Amino acid sequence: MIRVEGLSKTFGSLEAVRDLHLSVPEGQIYGLVGPDGAGKTTTLRLLCGALRPDPAGKSGTRIEIGGYDLLSELENARAQIGYLPQRFSLYEELTVLENIGFFAEMRGIPAAEWRPRCMAILEFVGLVEFTNRRAGQLSGGMKQKLGLAAALVHRPKVLLLDEPTTGVDPVTRQDFWQLIIQMVAESRQNGGSASVLVTTPYMDEAARCQKVGFMRLGKLLVEGSPQELRQQLEGRILELTGEPLEGLRRIAGQIAGVESVQRFGERLHLRIQAGQQEAVSEELSTRVPAEGGVLYSLDRAAPQLEDVFMSLAESEDE
């Protein structure tokens, strides 16, 4: 499990992470989302001991990783971690097998033990045919899978994944998530259940996590299950279609009570202030025909995580 209390990190005058509290119980996949520069990567680096946190403030800083205190038992805590950095961090000159072997041995696992386990992992991530190919010659998606394999070889209790699917094709992205979910399920069967903390810029990926935290400017603004988060905006999203779409968009933007207008393909999503749904619907129905437009449909839509985070980001700006 992961438990973080009062974690802060400052680079010069930049507060990359501010008083972070977070916990990921065993068997859970926790998604950390947020725009670039929110402090997600810094958080993961702090959690694996690659960066040193700011000296503890009043509250006291605690990082607990798989039962060890990272700050006082660094190497014991690190031994529990599987880490997949954002940037490919294996050796391009080494083959797939050599890379996994190297990182297994760095963790003190002898060849007799890692070899069979490694083949199982390669099979699991679908790299068996490429065992003797050099890592530098793998595609982006395969490199990420290799990274995951190397991070899993010592059966970590804590898996830290930093934007694992950035720059990976959509099919591989699906594979990758299947792998993570399957890995957690298998670890649950084997008794030693793993905690996964994953950062992602993709909302559809965040929706697959059991718990999601939204980070912005170093602060964790809100967390909860995707369902809980979506409920915050229940009933406040209107979806409309019509012509001309740009005209509709302009009109919607002028109506009081509309917080934001977003275009998704041939549809518009409006976020409405709480309690204003009826008024906005009526005004749209009258103004659009009056200005020469056609409204095909106007319905309530289920809020997406994206809507939730947009509204959080905006309220934070005000």
Partner 1 sequence: MLNIRLVSLVRKEFIQIWRDPRTLVLILVIPVMQLFLLGYAATNDVRNMPLAVLDQDRSPQARQLLDAYRAADYFRIAYDVDREADLRTLMDQGKARAGLIIPPGYGRQISEGGPAQVAFILDGSDPTVAATSLSAAQLIGQSLATGVMAETLARRGQPGSLQLPLDVRTQVWYNPDLISAHFMIPGVIGMILFAITSILTATAIVRERERGTIEQLIVTPIRSWELIVGKLLPYIILALLNTLEVIAIGAWWFKVPVRGDLGMIILLSGLFAATGLGIGLLASTFANTQQEAMLTVWMTLLPSIFLSGFFFPLEAMPPVLQWLSYLMPLRYYLVIIRALLLKGVSVAALQQEIIALAVFGAGIMLIAALRFHKRLD
Instruction: List interacting residues with partner 1 (CB under 8 A).
Output: 11, 45, 48-52, 75-76, 78-79, 81, 83, 85, 87-94, 98, 101-103, 105-108, 110, 134, 150
Minimum CB separation of residue 152 from partner 1 in Å reads 13
Residue closer to partner 1 by CB (options 40, 269) is 40
Residue closer to partner 1 by CB (options 91, 202) is 91
Spatial distance between the Cα atoms of 199 and 77, rounded to a whole number of angstroms = 20
Minimum CB separation of residue 105 from partner 1 in Å reads 4
Residue closer to partner 1 by CB (options 68, 309) is 68
Minimum CB separation of residue 73 from partner 1 in Å reads 11
SS3 content of the chain, % helix, strand, coil (to 5): 40, 30, 35
The residue type found at 38 is: A
Residue closer to partner 1 by CB (options 150, 206) is 150
State the Cα torsion 163-167-171-175 to the nearest 10°. Answer: -30
The residue type found at 172 is: T
Residue closer to partner 1 by CB (options 8, 311) is 8
Minimum CB separation of residue 10 from partner 1 in Å reads 11
Q: In what order do the strands lie in the sheet with 237-243?
A: 258-264, 267-272, 237-243, 294-300
Spatial distance between the Cα atoms of 211 and 206, rounded to a whole number of angstroms = 8
Spatial distance between the Cα atoms of 198 and 11, rounded to a whole number of angstroms = 23
Q: How is residue 301 written in tokens? A: 């839509």
Spatial distance between the Cα atoms of 65 and 23, rounded to a whole number of angstroms = 10
Q: How is residue 117 written in tokens? A: 């386990």
Minimum CB separation of residue 49 from partner 1 in Å reads 7
Residue closer to partner 1 by CB (options 89, 172) is 89
Minimum CB separation of residue 46 from partner 1 in Å reads 10
Q: How is residue 161 written in tokens? A: 């994944």
Spatial distance between the Cα atoms of 292 and 57, rounded to a whole number of angstroms = 61
